[in-house]
Amino acid sequence: MSETPQLKAPISVFLVDDHALFRAGVRTELDSITNEVRVVGEAGSVAEAVAGIARTKPQVVLLDVHMPDGGGAEVLRRARTDLPDVVFLALSVSDAAEDVIAVIRAGARGYVTKTISSKELVRAIARVAEGDAVFSPRLAGFVLDAFADRPGSAPISDPELDLLTPRERDVLRLLARGYAYKEIASELFISVKTVETHVSSVLRKTQLSNRYELSRWASDRRLV
Amino acid sequence: MDHVQEKPRTETGMPLPRPPGEGAVVPAAGSALAEVDERPKMYRRRSSRVVAGVASGLADHLGIKVLWVRATFAILAAFGGAGMVAYGLLWVFVPQRRREETEAPATPREKQQAIGLLILGVGLLVAGGAITGAINGWVAVPLALALVGAAVVWREADESQRRRWRDGARSGVAGMVLGGGGWSAAIRILAGVALVITGIGVVVLRSGSLDQVQFALLAVLATLVGVAVLTVPFWLRMGRDLGEERRARIRTEERAEIAAHLHDSVLQTLALIQKQSESPKEVARLARSQERELRGWLYGPSGYGTPEKKGEDRSVAFSQAIANACGEVEDTFAISVSQVVVGEAQLDDRLTALVLAAREAMVNAAKHAGVDEVSVYAEVEPTAVTVFVRDRGKGFDPETVSEDRHGLADSIRGRMERNGGTVRLRTAPGDGTEVQLEMPVKADSGGTR
């Protein structure tokens, strides 16, 4: 389909956002700058999204966090059990930690803000499609905050799961500082693959952790 | 342009006009209702009720078994009818649950128990009355009449209330007294009239044979109850209408406030952007500062969407100071500064110095690195607060920095060292620059919250 030899077919992407204008913009951008991704459908509401995702079976769903009837977390709850292979990438304008953490905990593979450049968005889509987690610096900050050992925090229910290893913490810190995976790898003298493994395990812990803190921390953060 | 900008102001910037009389009444009457609204609401049950749903509603509200509530009412009935009075008062003052809300259905066993307890309660009331001698034969008849009349009226008031919810109509005074018409309203009026007549009749028929004062009191009481029965639904409805009215007014004002804010911020900026459309840099600067402002308004610590916390000390916090510094640099140099702050601390002298040093590092990056994005990461730990200011710009060779460049030496290194902090610099030509600032936290200040 193109003159550059491609190993894989383009990644199919489904857009979920309640603003038609934003969907149109993302679609145009994604279609124009690369043939790595192909938009197969879009939806403006939770119900539409659930139906559309089930119908088109995309590889990646770009998911808005804030929608009138329940938001991204609701789409995840309803679409994810039937289609475990579809990966979700949250694309949000919201800065509120609880919004972000809600979709991550519901099973999104990453979170990027809407000010992201189109090139980076394509990279992020490609990365989640390969099974990697995508952490923006801000998300890394939120997660670090969630796992922070604050004095007086609730007892840890599952220590194995509920703590980040020092290495994971280091990786997250560098992510929050705006380092790319390659830079993190050379900084910590590990391979990029290892960085990816750490990031994925942080995501898994965030999603699985039943630490009291994780549900509480968002409201804590609002007070700061 | 002016016309376009002014129009939304007059339309949306003010609360909706309302009749002056109405507006004057609402705040005074609404203030008492407001306090009730703060607490979690108690409702009488609509389904699975035996008399009026008070006991089950109370059980829902308190989170205990309905059986215990009913038993308590029954036992209390023995003490001069206290249980009955309490039940009656709750019936009067607790609103019924709206239809659409779901409730747990009652089991037949529960219903049986309830009826049993109801009979027990009445029995205890009569027994208690007989023992204490409070209920004599001649009082019992009008009293029973009054109670039955009141019960009929309240049953009916429930019905008409349902009708009112369904219609959503704000009926007038006459409509309220009549309760939306129908023969149930007629029954209520008849009961009220019967009570008044009873009151008068007691005086007329029994006067002379017993103590005059007692009869006079009884007659007055019966008459008053009769009048109350006739008008109480009206008062209650007025109260509830006022509450409804007040809520609607708050919503309207809130909408007006949001509209006014969006007008003052977003619309003004969009208008400016249209004028500046040939200068992308200026457009980006305006958009960024507007985004930051709106974000702060929506999601910030004192933001619009943040629930209000009482008694919270919100003096300037470290994260806020960092955010302000980032915002200033963004605006001054038209670059984007993405900041991530983990943890929180109260600002003291040392942390103020740290923020100022970080700000200077951002300014350096903005001036010399030749990039349009700078990352700032700050972390509050129990022992120290660290800030990283990073750009992917030109970088430089620290050895070749000329002596007259005071920014790094004085504003950053000097300031940090005076306050006991340290500075580390990672930079190389073509590799970007990262300034790492670390400030130890005083042991007593506690570090993270």
Number of domains chain B is built from: 2
**How far apart (Å, rounded) are the C-alpha atoms in residues B426 and B145?**
92
Residue B160 scores a pLDDT above 70: no
Predicted confidence (pLDDT) per residue in A27-79, tens digit:
888 888 777 888 898 888 888 888 888 888 899 998 888 877 777 888 888 88
**How far apart (Å, rounded) are the C-alpha atoms in residues B368 and B233?**
76
Q: Which residues of B touch A151 (CB under 8 A)?
A: 382, 446, 448
Boundary-marking domain end, from B238, B259, B290: B238
Contact B338 A178 (CB under 8 A): yes
Whether B84 and B211 share a structural domain: yes
Looking at the DSSP bridge assignments, the partners of residue A11 are A37
Q: What is the structure's pLDDT at B307?
A: 54
Q: What is the structure's pLDDT at B258?
A: 82
Residue B156 scores a pLDDT above 70: no
- Side-by-side strand order, sheet with B422-427: B336-342, B373-380, B384-391, B433-440, B422-427
Q: Between the CA of residue B108 and those of B46, B49, B147, what are the distances in Å?
A: 16, 11, 28
Residue type, B226: G
Nearest CA in chain B to A180: B392
The dihedral through the CA atoms of B28, B32, B33, B38 has a sign that is positive
Whether B66 and B204 share a structural domain: yes
Q: Kindly write down the DSSP assignment for every residue of A122-143, as one continuous string.
A: HHHHHHHHTT--EE-HHHHHHH
Predicted confidence (pLDDT) per residue in A95-122, tens digit:
677 777 788 888 888 888 877 888 888 8
Q: Choosing among A112, A113, A223, which should be mutated to test the B contact, i.e. which has the most B CBs within 10 A?
A: A223
Under a CB-based contact definition with an 8 Å cutoff, are residues A175 and A127 in contact? no
Residue B29 belongs to some domain of the structure: no
Any idea which of A95-99, A125-129, B163-167, B402-406 has the lowest mean pLDDT?
Answer: B163-167
Q: Choosing among A143, A149, A224, which should be mutated to test the B contact, i.e. which has the most B CBs within 10 A?
A: A224
Q: Tokens 């609509």: give the residue.
A: B46
Nearest CA in chain A to B376: A177
Residue B246 belongs to some domain of the structure: no
Q: Which residues of B touch A145 (CB under 8 A)?
A: 342-343
Looking at the DSSP bridge assignments, the partners of residue A110 are A89, A134
Residue B273 belongs to some domain of the structure: no
Whether B71 and B204 share a structural domain: yes
* Nearest neighbour of B299 by CB, restricted to A94, A176, A178: A94
Contact A177 B375 (CB under 8 A): yes
Whether B331 and B224 share a structural domain: no
The token pair at B236 is 């209650």
Alpha-carbon B398 to chain mean position: 56
Under a CB-based contact definition with an 8 Å cutoff, are residues A13 and A60 in contact? yes
The token pair at B9 is 């102001």
Number of neighbours of residue B271 by Cβ within 10 angstroms: 13
Q: Kindly write down the DSSP assignment for every residue of B307-343, as one continuous string.
A: PP-TT---PPBHHHHHHHHHHHHHHHHT-EEEEEEES
pTM confidence score: 0.57
A16's enclosing H/E stretch is strand A11-16
Contact B448 A176 (CB under 8 A): no
Q: Between the CA of residue B46 and those of B53, B97, B149, what are the distances in Å?
A: 6, 6, 22
Q: How does strand B373-380 pair with strand A134-135?
A: unpaired
Q: Tell me the pLDDT band of B346, cut-offs 50, 70 and 90.
A: confident
Residue B137 belongs to some domain of the structure: yes
At A91, give phi and psi (nearest 5°).
Answer: -130, 105
Looking at the DSSP bridge assignments, the partners of residue B337 are B374
Under a CB-based contact definition with an 8 Å cutoff, are residues A109 and A82 in contact? no
Predicted confidence (pLDDT) per residue in B364-381, tens digit:
888 888 888 899 999 888
Nearest to A105 by CA among A16, A214, A28: A214
The dihedral through the CA atoms of B401, B406, B412, B415 has a sign that is positive
Q: What is the structure's pLDDT at B69?
A: 82
Q: What is the structure's pLDDT at A97?
A: 73
Residue B410 belongs to some domain of the structure: yes
Residue A8 scores a pLDDT above 70: no
Structural domain for B356, as ranges: 315-440
**How far apart (Å, rounded) are the C-alpha atoms in residues A151 and A154?**
9
ipTM associated with this complex: 0.78
At B304, give phi and psi (nearest 5°).
Answer: -65, -40
Exposure letters B106-120 (e unless 16+ CB within 10 A, then b): beeebeebbeebbeb
Q: What is the structure's pLDDT at B17?
A: 42
> Long-range contacts made by residues B415-419, C-beta under 8 angstroms, separation at least 24?
B415/B353, B415/B356, B415/B357, B415/B360, B416/B353, B416/B354, B416/B357, B418/B353, B419/B349, B419/B350, B419/B353, B419/B354
| Alpha-carbon gap: B61 to the closest alpha carbon of chain A (Å) | 25
Q: What is the structure's pLDDT at B216?
A: 66
Any idea which of B112-126, B233-247, B250-264 has the lowest mean pLDDT?
Answer: B112-126
Residue B42 belongs to some domain of the structure: no
Boundary-marking domain end, from B174, B207, B238: B238
Under a CB-based contact definition with an 8 Å cutoff, are residues A125 and A62 in contact? yes
Whether B225 and B325 share a structural domain: no
Contact A224 B344 (CB under 8 A): yes
Q: Which residues of A touch B337 (CB under 8 A)?
A: none
Whether B120 and B223 share a structural domain: yes
Contact B342 A177 (CB under 8 A): no
Exposure letters B302-321 (e unless 16+ CB within 10 A, then b): eeeeeeeeeeeeeeebbbbb
Q: Kindly write down the DSSP assignment for every residue of B15-54, as one continuous string.
A: PPP--HHHHHHHHHHHHHHHHHHHSPP--B-SSS-SSSSH
Pairs of CB atoms within 8 A across A/B: 59
Residue B272 belongs to some domain of the structure: no
Counting every residue, how long is chain B?
449
B427's enclosing H/E stretch is strand B422-427
* Nearest neighbour of B340 by CB, restricted to A137, A148, A150: A137
Indicate left, alpha or beta for B182 from its phi (over 0: left) and psi (-120 to 50: alpha). Answer: left
Q: Which residues of A touch B335 (CB under 8 A)?
A: none
- First and final CA of chain B: distance in angstroms? 49
Number of neighbours of residue A212 by Cβ within 10 angstroms: 14
**How far apart (Å, rounded) are the C-alpha atoms in residues B147 and B141?**
10
Q: Tokens 């890394």: give the residue.
A: A140
Provide residues of B within 8 Å CB-CB of chain A.
291, 295, 298-299, 301, 305-307, 309, 312, 317, 319, 336, 338, 340-344, 375, 377, 379, 382, 388, 390, 434, 446, 448-449
A39's enclosing H/E stretch is strand A37-43
The token pair at B4 is 């376009």
Q: What is the structure's pLDDT at A190?
A: 92
Whether B325 and B417 share a structural domain: yes
Q: Tell me the pLDDT band of B438, cut-offs 50, 70 and 90.
A: very high
Q: Kindly write down the DSSP assignment for every residue of A100-114, as one continuous string.
A: HHHHHHHT-SEEEET
What's the whole-number average pLDDT of chain A?
79
Q: Between the CA of residue A31 and those of A11, A15, A64, B146, what are the distances in Å?
A: 11, 13, 19, 79
Q: Which residues of B touch A177 (CB under 8 A)?
A: 340, 375, 377, 388, 390, 434
Whether B232 and B322 share a structural domain: no
Boundary-marking domain end, from B238, B270, B288: B238
What's the whole-number average pLDDT of chain B?
71
Nearest CA in chain B to A183: B431
Domains and CATH numbers, chain A: 11-147 (3.40.50.2300), 159-221 (1.10.10.10)
Residue B72 belongs to some domain of the structure: yes
> In this predicted model, which residue has the larger pLDDT, B106 or B155?
B106
Residue type, B397: D
Whether B80 and B227 share a structural domain: yes
Average pLDDT on B68-87 reads: 77
Q: Which residues contact B94 (CB under 8 A, 6 or more apart)?
A: B42, B43, B44, B54, B57
Residue B342 belongs to a domain with what CATH number? 3.30.565.10
A89's enclosing H/E stretch is strand A87-92
Contact B390 A138 (CB under 8 A): no
* Nearest neighbour of B390 by CB, restricted to A115, A178, A223: A178
B352 three-class SS: helix
| Alpha-carbon gap: B439 to the closest alpha carbon of chain A (Å) | 17
> In this predicted model, which residue has the larger pLDDT, B292 or B35?
B292
Residue B276 scores a pLDDT above 70: yes
Q: DSSP character for A8?
A: S
